[in-house]
Structure 1
Amino acid sequence: MNFQKNAIGIFDSGFGGLTVFKSIAAQLPNYNYIYLGDNARSPYGDHSFETVYQYTLECVEWLFAQGCPLVVLACNTASAKALRNIQQLDLPKKYPSNRVLGVIRPTAEVIGSMSDSKSIGVLGTRGTVRSESYLIEIHKFFPEVNVYQQSCPMWVPLIENAEHESEGADYFVKKYLNQLLSQSNEIDTVLLACTHYPLLVPKIKEQLNSNIHVVAQGDIVAASLVDYLERHPEMDIRLGQQAQQSFYTTGDAEAFDQHASVFLERSIAATKVKL
């Protein structure tokens, strides 16, 4: 497993980050990847800032220990609650040559240009919504845009229990969309600010008018990473390109494999690790 010494690390609290991984691997197919899902402690959405920061840092340091010089937090809650502390406090002191990137800023940089009405709805976990990270970041780039938020606490459990295609999921999809749209009738763009949510896109679109644009983050984050590596050749040269991938989970490996096959549309074999 020598390839791990120069892989891109991708982290999520569970399975959702696989949607981001899939997009990144499609745009950068030759690179080596290590994916870590902290399934034993998922979901992160309702945990405190301090707990999410602790959990995320432990996972990032595990990926660093595998030799990943670059880690992508493919998790909105971790990006909202932990990324800034890791970038400002931990990297300069302990890992000055390593980098950790998130999913919020790349999304905020482009989402405003996708709305004609300048009214955007953001769907996320309680943790992401409470952090107001999207409100802050979108207004940095698009101060004229109105941002409306709605937490969807039942969506991640539905997805992680493979109930996202069930009739029961319809109720909670409709419930949270109605709560979001009740805040403004000008919303023409809905951002899925959780990497799990793309699996609910068919049901989400069933409940929305066709003129409302539904935006998932995978391709946005992948394009941002491509740009980052072009602008930082000193990092790019450290990354191996043998097109090798490995998957790890803190939870049950067999269960991870079953769920991952839904996200990736192919089978994998994950390894369980203890942090």
Structure 2
Amino acid sequence: MSTLAPIGIFDSGYGGLTVFRSIADKLPDYNYIYLGDNARSPYGDHSFETIYKYTLECVEWLFNQGCPLVILACNTASAKALRTIQQKDLPAKHPGKRVLGVIRPTAEVINNFTESKEVGVMGTRGTINSKSYLLEINKFFPDLKVYQQSCPMWVPLIENNEHLQPGADFFINEYCNELLKQSDEIDCILLACTHYPLLMPKLKAFLPDHINILTQGEIVANSLADYLQRHPEIETTLGKGGQKVFYTSGDTTVFDGHASIFFGEELKSSRM
């Protein structure tokens, strides 16, 4: 696999496939390996130490498949593991490799989507409790007011394919209301979990029309394209051919059955 030099895409489960879809659409010529750690998902309620351990194991597995660059297409992993991997593990063990996340690219552009300068962030408990978005957005736009809301029921609803059923309405409406109670000036809501784009039909029904609902796929894809332009030392190591290979740490039949909902096409995975 090393001769293919694929880009690695990692997520704790299925949600990263929504980001992968946008990346593959934006940069179709590159080779990719997707890894979903479904056997140990969801990551949202795990400790920092556990998420760091799991994420590093999966990143190093992708390195061993020949990936010089890995994208953490998972907000929880980006919030709780990315910085340590970048600052500690890469210099010590993998100095020629790179690992990028999804939080910084989003924080860099969120100001473009708000007029009131008040934005909401909806994510898993792990992402929200890490305060990573508060810190990153404040670095770029200290004048923005950021309000957060954890949505612990949304990922289970999506992964059980219940998210568009009437039974999901209570939890979708509840979390939206809890966020909007914090300020009536919020005009942009970031979906800080890669599962949440699948809720878009419901969210548009429950949220006021003037609120921009921001998903991460296109933002991350544009950021990656820019990164590769600015870093030819990485870009030139990448193979091209448009190959997409999928792996899961869980059951491949279960993964394949759910993954098409997120990726938008049928796929066949292998066990890592």
Equivalent residue number for residue 268 of structure 2: 269
Question: 1: CA distance between counterparts of 2:75 and 2:144?
Answer: 20
Instruction: Note the residue ranges of structure 2 that are not aligned, 5 or more in a row.
Output: none
Question: 2: CA distance between counterparts of 1:52 and 1:263?
Answer: 22
Question: 1: CA distance between counterparts of 2:227 and 2:93?
Answer: 22
Equivalent residue number for residue 216 of structure 2: 217
- The alpha-carbon deviation at position 37 of structure 1 amounts to 0.2
Secondary structure of the structure 2 residue equivalent to 1:29 = coil
Report the AA paired with residue 201 of structure 1.
Answer: M
Question: 1: CA distance between counterparts of 2:160 and 2:250?
Answer: 14
Q: Is the 8 A contact 2:2 2:66 kept in 1?
A: no
Secondary structure of the structure 2 residue equivalent to 1:61 = helix
Is 1:154 aligned with 2:153? yes
Equivalent residue number for residue 129 of structure 2: 130
Report the AA paired with residue 49 of structure 2.
Answer: E
Is 1:23 aligned with 2:48? no
Question: 2: CA distance between counterparts of 1:102 and 1:64?
Answer: 16
The normalised TM-score by structure 1 is: 0.98
Give matches, 1:221-232, under 5 Å: 221-232=220-231
- The alpha-carbon deviation at position 114 of structure 1 amounts to 1.1
Question: 2: CA distance between counterparts of 1:205 and 1:71?
Answer: 32
Equivalent residue number for residue 113 of structure 1: 112
Question: 2: CA distance between counterparts of 1:65 and 1:54?
Answer: 17
Equivalent residue number for residue 182 of structure 1: 181
Report the AA paired with residue 224 of structure 2.
Answer: L
Secondary structure of the structure 2 residue equivalent to 1:122 = strand
- The alpha-carbon deviation at position 2 of structure 1 amounts to 5.8
The normalised TM-score by structure 2 is: 0.99
Report the AA paired with residue 21 of structure 1.
Answer: F
Deviating beyond 4 angstroms after TM superposition, the runs of 4 or more aligned structure 1 residues are none
Question: 2: CA distance between counterparts of 1:227 and 1:252?
Answer: 35
- The alpha-carbon deviation at position 266 of structure 1 amounts to 1.1
Question: 2: CA distance between counterparts of 1:45 and 1:108?
Answer: 20
Secondary structure of the structure 2 residue equivalent to 1:210 = coil
Give matches, 1:4-153, under 5 Å: 5-153=4-152
Q: Is the 8 A contact 2:2 2:65 kept in 1?
A: no
Question: 2: CA distance between counterparts of 1:90 and 1:122?
Answer: 29
Comparing 257-266 with 79-88, which one deviates more in the overlay? 257-266
- The alpha-carbon deviation at position 113 of structure 1 amounts to 2.1
